[in-house]
């Protein structure tokens, strides 16, 4: 397959071949390594956060993204990508929830639940006149035009499945619903899958993602997605298998390649179910604040790779080297950074010599 050139990624063909090898469980001469570095002396601009993207000037946000991409050296399999997310609960807002902010919450936000009665709230659907939904569409149109040939577009934050159901109902009330009205939650989760399809189709179309060899974002080929379910920390394996796993499998069926954002130690109880899910090719475990780095979980990672899963692994260049000595190269996606381009290239050369 031929890939359209990118101004900020001149060696896209070589990177694409390595991504293709990774997605079929193979390597060329080293594992996948996504490494970025600042270009010496290059001008930078303030990045955008959730609030900026939700309320700021879209053209200015894109201008700043271009400045920063031009100032970044994308080595290995890293890609210049632009993320258009308004926040983790943005899809709940598209469906009718209120977007909430607080001065002390930092770079995050949340939604105010609105479902008081499932019978009257279902079916759960995107409200096509929702201002944030309309803004997302305009953002994708403008970004696709301005970034063509320069950067790739990423999907928005795909907190659908039970995360969407929890956001519109409230996690505490949803936990009671799972016991008292499980048949209504069956319907709500089915609706969440339809919402996922709607968001995916609109973002793909307006972002003109079919025109590129890559689906946007810095990590994957065309048709890739990062899926997740943070709510799963609040339920046990039987409920996970009833509601979360089928929804994840349905979402993964739309995407060609999937990274599963596996958030926190409370989610480890679902390891067996995640490993058994063939659609979730790559697991990206997040240890949680104060619980160490990926380098501290090598025993667990080895076992996951032995069971057939690939891993997205974060760490410093020295940590990447240590992990590479232990983990299987064909099932490892390393993400790191260096202080200058020469150090990034040196890490790639080391990876070839030591594979």
* pLDDT tens figures, 74-84: 999 999 989 88
| Three-state DSSP class for residue 11 | coil
Number of other CB atoms surrounding residue 279 within 10 Å: 17
Task: Please give the pLDDT value at position 306.
Answer: 97
Task: Name the band, by pLDDT with cuts 50, 70 and 90, for residue 208.
Answer: confident
Q: Provide the strand spans (E) within 77-119.
A: 81-82, 98-100, 110-112
* Full-model pTM: 0.93
Q: Which of 73-82, 104-113, 272-281, 314-323 shows the lowest mean pLDDT across its residues? A: 104-113
Distance between first and last Cα of the chain = 26
pLDDT > 70 in the chain, percent = 95
Task: Name the band, by pLDDT with cuts 50, 70 and 90, for residue 3.
Answer: low
Please say if the pLDDT value at position 222 is more than 50. Answer: no
Task: Name the band, by pLDDT with cuts 50, 70 and 90, for residue 195.
Answer: very high
**For residue 304, which of 325, 321, 326 has the smallest C-alpha distance?**
326
Please say if the pLDDT value at position 105 is more than 60. Answer: yes
Task: Please give the pLDDT value at position 218.
Answer: 36
* pLDDT tens figures, 36-75: 999 999 999 999 999 999 999 999 999 999 999 999 999 9
Please say if the pLDDT value at position 172 is more than 80. Answer: yes
The phi and psi torsions of 273 (rounded to 5 degrees) equal -65, -40
Highest mean pLDDT among 12-21, 206-215, 299-308 belongs to: 299-308
Averaged pLDDT score across all residues of the chain: 92
Distance in angstroms (rounded) separating the CA atoms of residues 333 and 123: 39
Residue where the block lists tokens 């001469």: 29
Task: Please give the pLDDT value at position 214.
Answer: 46
Please say if the pLDDT value at position 103 is more than 50. Answer: yes
| Three-state DSSP class for residue 86 | coil
Give domain limits for the chain: 12-353
Task: Please give the pLDDT value at position 212.
Answer: 59
Written as one string, the DSSP assignment of 215-271 is: -SSSS--TTEEEEE-GGGGGS-HHHIIIIIHHHHHHHHHHSSEEEEEEESGGGGGGH
Instruction: Record the tokens describing residue 260, joined without a space.
Output: 């599963």
**For residue 279, which of 259, 254, 249 has the smallest C-alpha distance?**
249
Please say if the pLDDT value at position 329 is more than 90. Answer: yes
Please say if the pLDDT value at position 166 is more than 70. Answer: yes
The yes/no answer on whether domain 12-353 falls in CATH 3.20.20.70 is no
* pLDDT tens figures, 6-40: 899 988 889 888 988 998 999 999 999 999 999 99
Which residues make Cβ contacts (< 8 Å) with residue 47, sequence separation at least 6? 64, 65, 68
From residue 186, give the alpha-carbon distance in Å to each of 192, 270, 282: 10, 20, 27
Distance in angstroms (rounded) separating the CA atoms of residues 319 and 266: 25
Residue where the block lists tokens 């130690």: 265
């Amino acid at each position: 397959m031929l890939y359209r050139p990118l101004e900020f990624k001149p060696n896209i063909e070589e990177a694409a071949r390595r991504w293709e090898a990774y997605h079929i469980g193979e390597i060329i001469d080293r594992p996948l390594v996504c490494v970025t570095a600042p270009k010496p002396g290059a001008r930078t601009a303030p990045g955008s956060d959730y609030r900026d993207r939700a309320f700021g000037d879209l053209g200015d946000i894109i201008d700043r993204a271009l400045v920063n991409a031009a100032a970044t050296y994308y080595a290995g399999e890293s890609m210049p990508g632009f993320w258009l997310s308004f926040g983790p609960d943005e899809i709940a807002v598209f469906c009718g929830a209120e977007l909430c902010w607080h001065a002390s919450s930092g770079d995050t936000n949340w939604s105010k639940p609105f479902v008081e009665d499932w019978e009257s709230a279902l079916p759960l659907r995107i409200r096509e006149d929702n201002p944030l939904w309309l803004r997302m569409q305009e953002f994708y149109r403008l970004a696709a035009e301005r970034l063509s040939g320069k950067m790739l577009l990423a999907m928005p934050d795909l907190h659908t499945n039970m995360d969407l159901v929890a956001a519109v109902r409230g996690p505490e009330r949803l936990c009671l619903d799972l016991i008292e009205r499980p048949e209504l939650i069956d319907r709500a989760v089915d609706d969440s899958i339809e919402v996922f399809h709607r968001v995916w189709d609109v973002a793909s179309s307006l972002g003109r993602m079919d025109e590129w060899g890559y689906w946007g974002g810095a990590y994957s080929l065309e048709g890739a997605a990062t899926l997740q379910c943070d709510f799963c920390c609040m339920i046990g394996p039987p409920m996970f298998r009833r509601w979360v796993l089928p929804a994840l499998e349905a979402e993964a069926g739309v995407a060609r390649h999937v990274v599963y954002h596996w958030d926190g130690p409370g989610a480890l109880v679902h390891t067996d179910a995640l490993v058994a899910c063939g659609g979730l090719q790559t697991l990206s475990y997040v240890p949680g604040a104060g619980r160490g780095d990926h380098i501290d979980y090598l025993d667990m990672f080895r076992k996951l790779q032995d069971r057939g899963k690939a891993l997205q692994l974060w760490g410093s260049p020295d940590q990447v080297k240590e992990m590479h000595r232990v983990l299987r190269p064909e099932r490892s996606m390393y993400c790191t950074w260096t202080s200058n381009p020469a150090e990034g290239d040196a890490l790639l050369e080391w990876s070839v010599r030591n594979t």
